[in-house]
């Protein structure tokens, strides 16, 4: 039987179209439809657009990679190179959103000053350290126009108050309760740590809560609270 060239051309063309339909979504990402874009790239693009900062991927923090899946990553920003930001794409209150804790680091100095002033109202001379919860994400609408109070009320943090040597400790329980009530009134949830130090020079030299030497702590207390401001932990040492 003799075949003409025309049917062969049609067969080859049909095969090429079929192959394109089968393999079109698995090639170069620049040609992939937005619906199957990698979740990591979606988060990075969202962060850059939202904050006007350049972000680089650090590592995966759990979850999937497709837009329709849960995706969590760690990133670093050009403006805050010393901090690792946690970003998540997932379903929040029934809606798929991109959330992160960038503003907790962006407002870190303001948050520390705000919390120090609160502690000074109770203790007088003191130092305060603020560290964001690195597994916490803020609401999607939290941005650079948000205030430090709004950020603190929408998050949870590690809040350390350090007191100099020579403090009267006879009312330490009462003062701790006073600080807790101020936090509750301001709707600020945190992991609170109070430390009375025995050395003033050490008090002045302390760089961060993480560097604290227990050998210089005369008395301390850890206070935990849940989202409804019920005390979950309160232990003096």
Query: In the predicted model, is pLDDT for residue 152 greater than 70?
Result: yes
Name the pLDDT band for 64 (thresholds 50, 70, 90): low
Please check whether residue 71 is in contact with residue 43, taking contact to mean a CB–CB distance below 8 angstroms.
yes
Mean pLDDT of the chain: 86
Structure tokens given for 145: 């126009």
pLDDT score at 170: 96
| pLDDT single digits (tens) 153-165 | 999 999 999 999 9
- Bin 224: left if φ > 0, else alpha if -120 < ψ < 50, else beta: beta
Give a three-class secondary structure readout of 83-142. Answer: CCEEEEEEEECCEEEEEECHHHHHCHHHHHHHHHHHHHHHHCCCEEEEEECCCCCCCCCC
Of residues 80, 94, 62, 89, the one with CA closest to residue 144: 80
* 157 C-beta neighbours (distance < 10 Å), count: 24
pLDDT score at 21: 38
Cα–Cα distance measured from residue 182 to residue 180, given in angstroms and rounded to the nearest whole number:
5
Query: In the predicted model, is pLDDT for residue 210 greater than 80?
Result: yes
Name the pLDDT band for 18 (thresholds 50, 70, 90): very low
Is pLDDT larger for residue 71 or for residue 183?
183
Query: In the predicted model, is pLDDT for residue 50 greater than 80?
Result: yes
Query: In the predicted model, is pLDDT for residue 93 greater than 70?
Result: yes
- pTM: predicted TM-score of the whole model, two decimal places: 0.81
Count Cα neighbours of 139 within 13 Å in the Cβ-side half-sphere.
9
**Average pLDDT, stretch 173-192?**
98
pLDDT score at 62: 78
For residue 39, CA distances in Å to 68, 75, 129 come to 8, 13, 34
Name the pLDDT band for 63 (thresholds 50, 70, 90): low
Cα–Cα distance measured from residue 41 to residue 24, given in angstroms and rounded to the nearest whole number:
19
Query: In the predicted model, is pLDDT for residue 43 greater than 70?
Result: yes
Residue 167 β-bridge partners: none
Percent of the chain's residues with pLDDT above 70: 81
Cα–Cα distance measured from residue 156 to residue 149, given in angstroms and rounded to the nearest whole number:
12
Query: In the predicted model, is pLDDT for residue 11 greater than 50?
Result: no
- Run of H or E including 20: helix 5-23
Quick check: helix, strand or coil at residue 190?
A: strand
* 38 C-beta neighbours (distance < 10 Å), count: 15
Name the pLDDT band for 39 (thresholds 50, 70, 90): confident
Query: In the predicted model, is pLDDT for residue 1 greater than 50?
Result: no
**Average pLDDT, stretch 21-42?**
51
């Amino acid at each position: 039987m003799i075949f003409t060239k025309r049917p062969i051309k049609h067969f080859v063309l049909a095969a090429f179209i079929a192959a394109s339909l089968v393999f079109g979504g698995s090639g170069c990402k620049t040609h992939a439809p937005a619906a199957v874009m990698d979740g990591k790239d979606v988060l990075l693009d969202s962060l850059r657009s939202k904050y006007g900062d350049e972000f680089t991927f650090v590592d995966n923090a759990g979850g999937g990679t497709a837009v329709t899946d849960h995706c969590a990553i760690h990133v670093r920003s050009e403006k805050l190179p010393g901090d690792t930001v946690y970003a998540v794409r997932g379903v929040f209150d029934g809606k798929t959103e991109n959330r992160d804790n960038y503003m907790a680091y962006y407002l870190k100095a303001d948050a520390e000053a705000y919390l120090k002033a609160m502690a000074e109202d109770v203790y007088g001379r003191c130092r305060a350290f603020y560290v964001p919860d690195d597994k916490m994400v803020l609401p999607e609408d939290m941005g650079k126009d948000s205030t430090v109070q709004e950020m603190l009320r929408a998050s949870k943090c590690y809040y350390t108050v350090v007191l100099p040597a020579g403090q009267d400790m006879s009312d330490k329980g009462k003062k701790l309760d006073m600080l807790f009530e101020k936090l509750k009134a301001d709707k600020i949830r945190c992991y609170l740590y109070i430390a009375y130090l025995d050395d003033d020079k050490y008090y002045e030299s302390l760089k961060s809560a993480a560097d604290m030497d227990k050998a210089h702590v005369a008395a301390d207390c850890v206070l935990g609270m849940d989202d409804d401001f019920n005390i979950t932990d309160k232990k003096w040492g």
